[in-house]
Homo-oligomer: A and B are copies of this chain.
Amino acid sequence: MAGTDTTRPNITGGPAIVLVRPQLGENIGTAARAMANFGLSELRIVDPRDGWPSEGARKAASGANWVIDGARVFASTQEAIADLSLVLATTARQRDMRKQVLGPQAAADVLHAREGAGAHCGILFGGERAGLDNEDISLADAILTYPVNPAFASLNLAQAVLIMAYEWQRAAGTAGTRETFAELPDLAPKAELLGFFEHLETELDRGGFLKPPEKAPVMVRNLRNIFHRAALTSQDLRSLRGVIVALTGRAFRRNGAP
């Protein structure tokens, strides 16, 4: 989807994304892009198979260069998480470990609360082939698992990162949706709406629509409900009155008016 607005501030911060023994640079890059889409910026990489820096990663990041440039490489998961206060381990597999298990939404709420209290957090993601090993998972405070289709559970790395970045931003509630579209339109004054109803119903009566007479009140009420639901503005009402004039071929004249 298009829509990047480079005049608006770049959202950064949030928990660290820790990729543990990733293989392809390209997958690191698409993960970085997913982070940037939802305002995460801190990437840590444990023992990347194909080395670092990676041109493939930079290319696949599609412009999320600040994530790639800021990435730090560690030799082990232990070193990568040494300064973090809360660590979640992402896995789709059932593990024989007694740890708390969180879904993405609950995890994002926990991360948000912790980060908001000044405790830096991280999320571990395993490599493409084997995921996290038991050693990595044992370092985490809780397991994060996704509500995937059990018969088709394999998410690629960028997709797994994307969902947590998305949930982080949802929990943070700072971006896009709310502020951009929040303004409510100015609904038309009721007098204008009633003027439209009078116009419509007068012409419907002339056109023989409101018959038999005993059913007319219900028919009128149903039509009015349709237009009430549409939450009309003054401009909408001018358009709709123009529609009536075009369909009838005449300007509005009240019943009995000369």
Contact = CB atoms under 8 A, between A and B. Distances in A.
Nearest to A94: B180
Interface string A207-218: 111000000000
Given A159-B34, A163-B166, A9 B223 contact: no
A8 B91 contact: no
A202 B175 CA distance: 43
A243 B154 contact: no
Given A101-B177, A145-B181, A170-B105, A1 B223 contact: no
Q: Count this chain's copies in the assembly.
A: 2
Interface string A170-198: 10010111101100010000000000000
A147 B159 contact: no
Contacts of A5: 150-151, 153
A158 interface: yes
Contacts of A119: none
A30 to B, nearest CB: 8
B151 A10 contact: yes
A190 B150 CA distance: 33
Contact of A239 (B36, B62, B226): B226
Interface stretch (A21-29, A46-54, A77-85, A228-236): A228-236
Given A149-B176, A150-B175, A207-B245, 8 more contacts: A1-B131, A5-B151, A63-B152, A94-B181, A101-B177, A147-B177, A222-B236, A222-B239
